[in-house]
Amino acid sequence: MTQETTKCLIIGSGPAGFTAAIYAARAGLNPILYQGSQPGGQLTITSEVENYPGYPDGIQGPEMMMDFQRQAERFGTQVRSGMATKVDFSVYPHRVTIDDSHVIEAYTVIISTGASAKWLGLPAEQRLNSRGVSACAVCDGYFYRGKDVAVVGGGDTAAEEATYLSKLCKKVYLLVRRGEMRASKIMQERVLNTPNIEVLWHTETADILGENEVEAMRVRNVQTGEERDIPIQGFFVAIGHQPNTDIFKGFIDMDANGYIKTKPGSTHTNIEGVFAAGDAQDHVYRQAVTAAGTGCMAALDAERFLAAKGLH
């Protein structure tokens, strides 16, 4: 087991992680960033990004994350492949094990491990991902202006996405597996009072149809077993996200869904010297630009923490 020490360790490589790295590196913290299981985060499975400032013509998600990485490396960030497999925040400096083989003692740790969308498990979901299948209406809804789309889910997220899409799209189908929604009463009312949203009760997705892009969905009535095909151009899965925070359980305070709790107005967690940024702690906005903003905050919080300790 090899070992090293650093002032600042960043776990995760999406917009939050790389922005934290840019700020930490410029502050002279010589950060080490581990990319994790999905280098670049969720944006690497996104095609066109049109809502991030500074890219007036839009940019491909993977290309954008390469820009983030190059900027972080320009200021001296060590970007490494590897995954945090164990942490010990009961000691200081904090200890983080990478790939079960390398221990890093870190005076500050920035958690930016993000969250992963929950999927239905259909083969077509992954095949048509970014080609009509999406898990973020705010990110991708603009591409389906004037088209017919579907949203899967019965909770607040699905209701919000359907309502958002209804302002852009010609028709929105909301697929609800049960005979009622789990969404809050006010969100249900918004859905049911929106003329171009059609709720398909007792309905599940049997398949998503299309060779190179979404052309239709095959839906199944769970009560009768009857199947039918409905033409659509966009298919949005809104059954929730899972924050990638399991290895921090037992040390870091989280909500019931596993999102890291941070002190209001900051990125401080309940553990001194450990900060959280991006979708690992944000279940409300979940946008690249808000993740980048909290990444900046985490680096500034880490720098101030080290200065107060006389370590920087």
Residues labelled as active-site residues: 136, 139-140
Matching residue, tokens 């839906």: 219
**Alpha-carbon distance values, 146 to 118, 143, 150, 167, 266 (Å):** 27, 9, 13, 9, 40
Paired tokens of 63: 């290309």
Phi-psi region of 6 (alpha: psi -120 to 50; beta: other; left: phi over 0): beta
At residue 252, the 3 state secondary structure works out as coil
Buried b or exposed e, range 150-164, using 16+ CB within 10 angstroms: bbbbbbbbbbbbbbb
CB 124 within 8 A of CB 211: no
The secondary structure of 197-208 as a DSSP string is: EEEETTEEEEEE
Paired tokens of 288: 């690249």
Q: Diameter of the chain by CA atoms?
A: 69
Closest CA to 96 of 19, 34, 15, 28: 34
Give the sign of the dihedral formed by CA 182, CA 185, CA 188, CA 192: positive
- Strand 171-175 vs strand 197-200: parallel, antiparallel, or unpaired? parallel
Q: How many CB atoms lie within 10 A of CB 38?
A: 18
